Structure 1
Amino acid sequence: MKAAVLKKLGEAPVYEEFPDPVIANDQQEIITIKSASVKNLDKARAAGTHYSGYKQLPAVAGIDGVGLLADGTPVYAQGVSGTLAEKAVINKGQYIKLPEGIDADTAAALPNAVIGSAMALQFRAKIKQGSTVLVNGATGVTGIIAVQLAKYYGAGTVIATGRNARQLEKAKELGADHIISLLQEDAEVITQIKSIHQQTHIDYVIDYLWGRPAAMLLEALQGAGVNYVSDKVTIVTVGAMAGDLLPLSSGTLRSSDIEILGSGFGSLSSRQFQQFNTSLLPEAFQLVAEKKLHLEVDVVPLEDIQNAWNKPVSPGKRLVVKVS
């Protein structure tokens, strides 16, 4: 079969022939791959910088994908073997059937973005109807999905921040009530957040940036003096695109009812991941099929994988490899 074959850690996989995958027991089956996305996790594993990296090379890259079962049923599944290939091994029954009306490329790109948005909103923030949600870093793939899902889950007001003007306007088209450019001076960003916070209390922050943008948020949300009584603000950090550290004053936490949580593999339970697979992700697939949830992709054919692997992807889009 043709596949994206990783020969050396730190190098892009190459398009070439590779032996067909073989099932190891009767609890596995073969899937014919249609499309598979390339995510930061895929690249980190290929670079040898992730703990779940490859133990033996050469190997087929890719951790999940969309394809057809033997009976032609279209599904999304995580691979036992690499998924950037014409065929892959998956565990029997551990897949999600795709609804009619969804294309394979978009379906392949969606799961990672839903993990980073729906899990944070539902399980960590525990979003409530009518609440106000600020998505910090709403111009990336996952941030754009978070804006849309926050509205779908019942947020009354959604605020989107980011550096890309086009993507901020896109966020507004898709449901954001306020947009704030992080290209402005820090003082102006803080002033705008404070102004909105005074008008409609910000209940939840879903943060993909951390670093300086998160520090500005904390400054904007902190208390205003000895007679100030605040309502709770829950900040959920999902990523650290702007830096892994930020200064945190004890006074900031003592002056406000601010709760800081993380959302990632280590902070979510097996029960919550089961709910993701049985409820949240199937629901998101259905929303895409009904054109109620929007995601943009950059699609390349499998034979172009080596050139596409390290090329910058368009802002707000996920790289998807079309296999067949």
Structure 2
Amino acid sequence: MKAAVLFEGGKIPQFIDGFPEPVAGSEDQLIMSVKATAIKHLDKSSAKGEHYTSTGAIPSAKVPGGDGVGLLPDGTRVYALGITGMLAEKAVVEKSKMIKVPNDLDDSIAAALPNAVAGSAMALRFRAEMKGGETILINGATGFTGKIAVQIAKLYRAGKIIVTGRNEQTFQSLLALGADEIVSIAQDGESFVTQIRNIHQQTPIDIVLDYLWGETAELILAALKGKGAFTHKTRFIAIGSLTGDKISLSSQMLRSVDLQLSGSGLGSWSKPEMQILMTEIIPQMFQLAAAHKLKVETVSVELKDIEKIWDTALSGGKRLVVTI
């Protein structure tokens, strides 16, 4: 079969025509004919052995891609989590980890959406326990997941949505999607902190969804720092680390403010929460996307071009999707 294959020590998968087809290992597994799979930060960092779920050594011939959309042997079109890699014509999937895709939903959108939904809805619902009317700050909203997060926060009845980002061309689209206020991370640190602090004083920030970590996370925490008086409780949820994996965190800062600091990602969710994601949350978002009530932007490429496009960085909050 045709596949993108990551060889030991390699950082870019190679296109192979003639790679062995995967074989189902039990009655709970099926062979899916893959039609589309999104290339995510998770896939790239896992391919390098740098993601926190990675075991370290890269197998000598591994097909990357953790999820995708395809056809089951009976012709049913589903989104599924792969037991084997999805950047191939065939993949092994578990019967219990698949979702039927609505007829009106494009393969590329169905492949791109679930990871971003998990990266926003799970944080809002389970880590932050969001309530209607609350003020949400999304740090790093100009990326694909950030733009989905704005829409889901709006869907979950956020009272006010503040977004940060560097790509000024994307700011207007964020406002159109439901954001209320923009904070540019291109400005100097002192101005950034002052703007966040002023917003927090006027409309206390209830939840921070952070996709960047690094310096901007430090600046946001500095803006939330108290001065010895009673403070508003803020739930800070770390989801990504696009601008750095470590921060400097003062114990004085933690003692000065009513802060809940937690993470949202694989390993932090319980089995019941994952079940809700697969049976309720993603199906709902599929229906909204099919009805054009959730805006999802993708760029489709062919599997044979994997070596050329693997490290492509898309602007404007779009997601790269490989079609097969």
TM-score scaled by structure 1? 0.93
Could you list the runs of 5+ residues in structure 2 that have no partner in the other structure?
none
Contact 1:9-1:48 at 8 Å conserved across structures: no
Per-residue displacement from partner, 1:224-246 (whole Å, max 9, x unpaired)? x34x3222111111112222222
CA distance in 2, matches of 1:241, 1:249: 22
Question: Please, which of 68, 71, 76 is the counterpart of residue 73 of structure 1?
Answer: 76
State the one-letter code of the partner of 1:169: Q
CA distance in 2, matches of 1:238, 1:42: 15
- TM-aligned CA distance change 1:214 to 1:55, over 3 Å: closer
Per-residue displacement from partner, 1:119-157 (whole Å, max 9, x unpaired)? 111110111010000001111111111111111111010
State the percentage of identical aligned residues. 50
CA distance in 2, matches of 1:238, 1:212: 15
SS of the counterpart of 1:306? Answer: helix
- The reply to whether residue 136 of structure 1 matches residue 103 of structure 2 is no
Please list, as runs of the form range in 1=range in 2, the aligned pairs for 1:39-54 lying within 5 A after superposition. Answer: 39-50=40-51, 51-52=54-55
Partner of 2:240: 239
Contact 2:7-2:59 at 8 Å conserved across structures: no
Partner of 1:102: 105
State the one-letter code of the partner of 1:303: K
Moved over 6 A (4+): none
Please list, as runs of the form range in 1=range in 2, the aligned pairs for 1:1-324 lying within 5 A after superposition. Answer: 1-15=1-15, 16-50=17-51, 51-52=54-55, 56-223=59-226, 225-226=227-228, 228-323=229-324
CA distance in 2, matches of 1:53, 1:250: 32
1:187 is displaced (CA, Å) by: 1.9
- TM-aligned CA distance change 1:261 to 1:56, over 3 Å: closer
- TM-aligned CA distance change 1:52 to 1:41, over 3 Å: farther
Greater shift, 250-259 or 275-284, is seen at: 250-259
- TM-aligned CA distance change 1:54 to 1:291, over 3 Å: farther
Contact 2:225-2:257 at 8 Å conserved across structures: yes
1:52 is displaced (CA, Å) by: 4.4
CA distance in 1, matches of 2:94, 2:56: 20
CA distance in 2, matches of 1:291, 1:150: 17
CA distance in 2, matches of 1:55, 1:194: 44
Per-residue displacement from partner, 1:184-209 (whole Å, max 9, x unpaired)? 12222122212221221111111111
- TM-aligned CA distance change 1:165 to 1:220, over 3 Å: same
Contact 1:45-1:54 at 8 Å conserved across structures: no
Greater shift, 180-189 or 85-94, is seen at: 85-94
1:27 is displaced (CA, Å) by: 2.0
TM-score scaled by structure 2? 0.93
CA distance in 1, matches of 2:59, 2:218: 42
1:8 is displaced (CA, Å) by: 3.2
Q: CA RMSD in A?
A: 1.7
SS of the counterpart of 1:267? Answer: coil
CA distance in 2, matches of 1:308, 1:7: 17
Could you list the runs of 5+ residues in structure 1 that have no partner in the other structure?
none
- TM-aligned CA distance change 1:176 to 1:109, over 3 Å: same
- TM-aligned CA distance change 1:289 to 1:53, over 3 Å: farther
CA distance in 1, matches of 2:49, 2:253: 38
1:253 is displaced (CA, Å) by: 2.3
Aligned residues: 321
